[in-house]
Amino acid sequence: MDDVIIVGAGIGGLTLGLALHRTNIPCRIFESVPEIRAVGVGINLLPHAARELAALGLEAALAKVAIQTTDATFFNRFGQLIYQEPLGRAAGYDHPQFSIHRGDLQMVLLDAFRSRAGHDRIVTGRHCLGVEQDEAGVTVTFSDGAGGANRFDVRGRVAVACDGINSAVRRQFYPDEGEPRYSGVNMWRGVTRWKPMLSGASMVRAGWLSHGKMVIYPIRAADSAGLQLINWVAEIETPNYRRRDWNRAGSLDDFIGPFSDWHFDWCDVPALIRAADSVLEFPMVDQEPLSRWSFGRVTLLGDAAHPMVPRGSNGAGQAILDARALTAALLEYADPAAALSAYEQQRLEATTRIVLTNRTNPPDAILREVFERTQDTPFKAIEEVISREELVALSDSYKRVAGYSKDALRR
């Protein structure tokens, strides 16, 4: 009865479980799928998120399976260098920026939670249907997997919905919210075994959304053949889209055209795309920020609370910061409702700013600025288009909003 019930064993749910266990707050995690497997593609852990995972004793485990990203490098669609800046420890941060396969990150978190809290503290094949509460606690109702006929009621002290953008708990409190908001940009994502490019630890952003933009970065170290696992994302303004599904296969013919002439000295982009193990397609979507996440003994966390378009490498990181803040609040306040309210007060406004900034001025706004000033033509010298001071200001402004400027982390 004293358990914190965590709905969902994704990045946010597992991080919360580890943080609660570390502070001796009992919890149980319930996951919809019958078996948790390493799925997905690449994500980034910015220094503020890496710091939180390091505090949980996970930095060494992450370093074994991730790339410590050293630089962000921006090009136009003609392959011309626009801007480059160091990242993570190379930029003087106390903690690295990790580029990592989402499945690898989830497995690091899962293995740590099972070894520390016990295998019985995580239950799979339990799909959340809804939650009720009274003065003594909460009751979460699960089925035996999505669409399962059997029902299971679990009692706890607090319930935390970490079940993503299609959260059943969020839908219970906001039944009329509607479908996620489409940004007008569709994405195709893949991973390719490829030779290292640039520094071998670069995050590349190139092109612009109206004509085709690419994000490319390695997520696993080179194998015995000298090939890294390279994550790439193709983003194109597209009026039509299909509902988000992490497992929907994409077709090369639907998006490779705009990149067919991207043959650069640092990468043959169409060859990289065609060599992918597989291609996934899904739209860039988010939701309008909510006015509240917490309802008595129930709250939302991560994508269930603040789904954001994946620009700025910040979605997983904000879920990790949520977990830290919620754990601290549960330690500070004896009253569960007061704890969840304090957590919301700390995190809601901050994540709202990021959701809105990701729509308009994320780090790739640098590409938009150059695209507009050059009218999508090659330049003779980037200094004739935009000053380095302006480029630095564009980059630094996002770091401040997202909470990972050096000053913010020192505070």
In a domain, 323, yes or no: yes
Q: How far apart are CA 168 and CA 90, in angstroms?
A: 41
Do 409 and 48 contact (CB within 8 A), yes or no? yes
pLDDT above 60 (res 1): no
Average pLDDT over residues 212-237: 96
- Residue 194 CA to its chain's centroid (Å): 24
Do 6 and 16 contact (CB within 8 A), yes or no? yes
**How much is the pLDDT for 71?**
97
Residue range 351-375, pLDDT digits in tens: 999 999 888 888 888 999 999 999 9
**How much is the pLDDT for 362?**
81
Q: How far apart are CA 263 and CA 319, in angstroms?
A: 37
Q: Is 327 helix (H, G, I), strand (E, B) or coil?
A: helix
| Domain harbouring 329, CATH code | 3.50.50.60
Residue 400 or residue 131, greater confidence: 131
Residue range 279-318, pLDDT digits in tens: 999 888 889 999 999 999 999 999 999 999 888 778 899 9
Residues with Cβ < 8 Å from 211, sequence gap 6 or more? 77, 236, 258, 376
Q: Is 223 helix (H, G, I), strand (E, B) or coil?
A: coil
In a domain, 54, yes or no: no
Only one residue has tokens 């308009």, namely 360
Which of 134, 131, 151, 53 is closest to 96 using CA atoms? 53
**How much is the pLDDT for 247?**
66
First to last CA, the chain: 37
Do 253 and 274 contact (CB within 8 A), yes or no? no
**How much is the pLDDT for 244?**
60
Do 50 and 40 contact (CB within 8 A), yes or no? no
Do 55 and 102 contact (CB within 8 A), yes or no? no
As for how many domains the chain has, the answer is 1
**How much is the pLDDT for 321?**
96
Average pLDDT, rounded, for the chain: 93
Q: Are strands 202-208 and 212-220 parallel, antiparallel or unpaired?
A: antiparallel
In a domain, 139, yes or no: yes
**How much is the pLDDT for 282?**
86
pTM: 0.94
Do 199 and 50 contact (CB within 8 A), yes or no? no
Q: How far apart are CA 183 and CA 288, in angstroms?
A: 11
Q: Most confidently modeled of 8-17, 35-44, 305-314? A: 8-17
101 bridge partner residues: 42
Which of 233, 239, 235, 234 is closest to 219 using CA atoms? 233
- Lookup: tokens for 371: 């695209």
Least confident range from 32-46, 122-136, 186-200, 205-219: namely 32-46
In a domain, 84, yes or no: no
Average pLDDT over residues 81-100: 95
Q: How far apart are CA 191 and CA 235, in angstroms?
A: 15
pLDDT above 80 (res 410): no
**How much is the pLDDT for 239?**
84
In a domain, 167, yes or no: yes
Q: How far apart are CA 16 and CA 44, in angstroms?
A: 18
* 63: region left, alpha or beta (phi > 0 left; psi from -120 to 50 alpha): alpha
Residue range 137-190, pLDDT digits in tens: 999 999 998 888 899 999 999 999 999 988 999 999 999 998 888 889 999 999
pLDDT above 60 (res 250): yes
In a domain, 123, yes or no: yes
In a domain, 319, yes or no: yes
Phi, psi of 269 (to 5 degrees): -65, -50
Question: Containing domain of residue 163, as a range?
Answer: 4-41+103-179+290-360
Q: How far apart are CA 46 and CA 203, in angstroms?
A: 12
- H/E segment holding residue 160: strand 158-161
In a domain, 115, yes or no: yes
Q: How far apart are CA 184 and CA 47, in angstroms?
A: 30
Residues with Cβ < 8 Å from 170, sequence gap 6 or more? 161, 177, 300, 304, 305
Residues with Cβ < 8 Å from 29, sequence gap 6 or more? 6, 8, 9, 13, 14, 17, 113, 121, 122, 123
Do 207 and 370 contact (CB within 8 A), yes or no? no
